[in-house]
Amino acid sequence: MSVQINESTKTVSEGAAAGVAVYSNFLLSIYDLEVLMFELQYIFKCPLHKVMEFFNENVSGIHLDVGVGTGYFLDKCNFPVENPTIHLMDLNSNTLRKTSKRIKRYEPVPHQCNVLEPIQADLPLFDSISAINFLHCLPGIMLDKEMAIKNLKPFLREGGVLFGITVLGQGVDVGILYRIANSIYNKKSIFSNLNDNISDLEVILKNNFKEYSVQTVGSAAFFSGHN
């Protein structure tokens, strides 16, 4: 199957490139097992079923998934309609290809974009936008990551929800394995979350949404903001 990817980003900073470089086809072939089923649950102490429940609570029939990885949640979730409209956004073409194939039954529309730059893609307005395991990959301190939310928000319909989870680097020490893994991932620039904490995430949500919620599960923050 060949996948048509709409490219809208030409400039990519070193930090943004580092956050996507790791997602080779090999890593994507073991990602669900290694990252979602093992590391997320046993190192970052965030049960996968809780993320799935959160996804199901928030996903709509007109949905944009940002930072798609392997498309695990899109594949397994329960959409509230039989034929959802799904758009995919990622800077990495491997992840867009993998996810597009995995959920081809929904005929998703992929867009290759850097969410840290203004988004030029031709997009409809969405009732829901997900950013799962995403903010911790973006460079900078937590407050710098507001740029991604600001770039996505124009594509969220009035009353729509932007939701996600992100592994924090401060205030959520869930053990030695978490400390070791988080430190290695930051050294390799796979994560940039050493300064990410729940209060700064709350500031971002307060600045951008009429209503918001945020809570931690293990070392991850589950957040949502309503337009």
Ligand X SMILES: C[S@@+](CC[C@H](N)C(=O)[O-])C[C@H]1O[C@@H](n2cnc3c(N)ncnc32)[C@H](O)[C@@H]1O
209 is written with which tokens?
């949404």
In the bound state with ligand X, the residue whose beta carbon lies nearer, of 24 and 199, is 24
Instruction: Please provide residue 83's backbone torsions phi and psi, each rounded to the nearest 5 degrees.
Output: -120, 75
Residue nearest to ligand X (CB): 69
What is the nearest approach in angstroms of ligand X to the Cβ of residue 74? 9
Nearest distance, CB of residue 82 and ligand X, angstroms: 23
- Closer by beta carbon to ligand X, 21 or else 203: 21
Nearer to ligand X, 148 or 172 (CB): 148
Handedness of CA 75, 76, 82, 88 (dihedral sign): negative
> Residue 210 Cβ, how far from ligand X at the closest point, in Å?
25
The tokens for 26 are 């090999």
DSSP state of 135: G
Q: Minimum CB separation from ligand X for residue 114, in Å? A: 5
By C-beta, is 75 or 211 nearer to ligand X? 75
Cβ pair 88, 65 in contact under 8 A: yes
Phi/psi for 190 (5° steps) reads -75, -40
Q: Of the two residues 131 and 211, which places its CB atom closer to ligand X in the complex? A: 131
Comparison of 21 and 177: residue with beta carbon closer to ligand X:
21
Taking the C-alpha atoms of residue 22 and residue 20, their distance in angstroms, rounded to an integer, is 6
- Minimum Å gap between C-beta 148 and ligand X is 7
Q: For residue 79, give Cα distances in angstroms to 53, 59, 82, 86, 169.
A: 12, 7, 7, 10, 32
Residue 206 token pair: 């307060």
Distance from the Cα of residue 55 to its chain's centroid: 11
Interface with ligand X by CB under 6 A: which residues? Answer: 16, 19-20, 23, 36, 67-69, 72, 90-92, 95, 114-116, 132-134, 137-138
CB atoms within 10 A of CB 25: 10
Q: Shortest approach of ligand X to residue 90 CB, angstroms?
A: 4
